[in-house]
Amino acid sequence: MSNPIRANGKPKSSMQIDNAPTPHNTPASVLNNSYLKNGNPVTSQTIPQTIDEEDSNANAQQQVANALLAQKPLLLASIQDKLDDLIGTDSGYVESLPKDVKDRVYSLSSLQTELFDLEKNFQIEMFELEEKYNKLYRPLMERRYGITKGDIQPTKEEIIKGRELVGEEEEPEEEEEDEDEENIEGIPSFWLTALENLPIVSETITDRDAEVLEYLTDISMEYISEGQPGFQLIFKFDSDKNPFFKKEQLSKKYYYQSELGYSGDFVYDHAEGETIDWVSHEQNVTVNVEQKKQRNKNTKQVRTVERMTPVESFFNFFDPPVAPVEDEDKDEEEEEDIDEELESRLALDYSIGEQLKDKLIPRAIDWFTGAALEFEFVEDGEDEFEDGEEDEEEYDDDEGEDEEQADQDDFAGQEQAPECKQQ
C-alpha cells in the first residue's frame, strides 16, 4: 500500500470535518440577488454612491493602515494571530439559508457518511489484499535471502534471464578457477549497500553503523492484522558472526488508528521498537563512551568512570519517538517548540518505515545496483544550477570569513551535552 497514511502525529476523528464554511468559501449569490457574500441582505446602505468614491476611500484607508502597521510590528503580529484564529470558524452562511435549502445540505451530509463507510470498506479490503499477496511474495523473498547469504546457489535459468534483463551478453566459456581465489559466500554487504543507496536512510548511517550492518542478512515485512492494524519490519542478522549483539533479529512495528482519517486513508498512530542488548558499551554504536580515571582525595583510591553520550545512529530507528508527558510547569512557547520537534521526528521516523516497506524490500536488488535511483524524483533545490551556470549574487569574501569566524566563536561557547555517569 503506497503512502497509506498521514504521519502528522496528531490524529483526527474520522468523522470530524476539518474546516467549517468560512467567508472564503461562501458563494457570491444564492437563489437570487438578495444575498451578498457575507449572507446579509442587500440594503441601500451597502451600495456605494459611485465607484470612484468607493475606490478613493478604500485606497486612502489602506494607505493609512499600512503606514500604522509598518510602524508597529507587534500590532501586526497580534492582528495576524487573530486572523489565524479565525481560520476554520463558521461564517454563519449555512444557518442563513432557507429551510428547504438547508434540508438539502443536511441530506448531502447523510450521503457523505454513506460514501465514507464504503471508502472505509475499500481500504480494509485493500489492506487484506496486500496481506494476501505479501504471503505469495514470501517464497521469492526467502529464495532471495538464501542467495544473498550464500545458503542457496542460483539456477542457470535465473542467471541467463537476469543477464537478458540488464542487456548483458552471454558469459563466455568458464575458465578454470584460480586456486588462490577466495571462496566468497553469497553477496557481501548486500543489504548495507542497498540501504546506503536509499537517500532518506543513508543519511542516518554512520561509519560505526556500517560495521554492524555488514552482518545484516535480510529485511522483511509482515502485516499486523490482529487487534490494531499495521505492519512490522524485521531485520535479520548473522548471530554466529555478529560481534555487536547476539540477537538474530530486530523488529519494529508501525500501528494505524482503528478509524480512517477524514481523507479516507489509514492514519499513523504510533510505533514500537525494540531494546538492543549490546555486547558492551564499546560495541554500542548509539553512544560515545569515554573512560576517565578519578582519584579520591581522602582514600587515594583510583576508579575508572565511563561517560556515555548519545550520538546519531541508524540503530536509533529501533527507539522511536513518543509523545512527551504534559508538564504544567512549561509555558505555551516551550510546549509548541516540543510539539513541532516531535511532529518532525515522527514524520521522519514514519517516512523511513514506509520507504523500507514500499521501496527497499520489494526492489532490494535495484537499490543494491543503484538502478532504482534513476526513478527517484529530484527534490526542489537540489539541482539549483545547471552545468556551466553560476550564482548571479555577488559574494563578499571578507563577509564570508567574518561569518565563519562568528560561527566558530559561537560553537566554542556552547556548553557540552549532559552526560550520564556509570561506575
Q: Which domain holds residue 270?
A: 1-21+187-324+333-371
Query: Is 385 inside any structural domain?
Result: no
Query: Is 345 inside any structural domain?
Result: yes
Query: Is 81 inside any structural domain?
Result: no
The count of domains in the chain is: 1
Query: Is 264 inside any structural domain?
Result: yes
Query: Is 242 inside any structural domain?
Result: yes
pLDDT digits (tens, 9 = 90+) for 117-136: 888 888 888 888 999 999 99
Contact 141, 133 (CB under 8 A): no
Query: Is 308 inside any structural domain?
Result: yes
Q: What is the pLDDT along the chain (423 residues), one digit of tens a residue?
A: 444 444 444 443 333 333 334 333 434 433 444 333 334 444 444 444 444 555 566 677 777 667 665 666 666 666 666 666 666 666 788 888 999 998 999 999 999 989 888 888 888 888 889 999 999 999 999 999 999 999 999 999 999 999 998 888 766 655 555 555 568 899 999 999 999 999 999 999 999 999 999 999 999 999 987 778 899 999 999 989 999 998 999 999 999 887 777 766 778 889 999 999 999 988 999 999 887 887 887 887 888 777 889 999 999 999 998 866 655 555 555 556 667 888 888 989 999 999 999 999 999 999 999 999 988 865 444 444 444 444 444 445 554 455 545 444 444 444 444 444 443
Task: Output the pLDDT for position 177.
Answer: 55
- The domain spanning residue 205 has which CATH number? 3.30.1120.90
Query: Is 261 inside any structural domain?
Result: yes
C-alpha cell at 272: 514500537
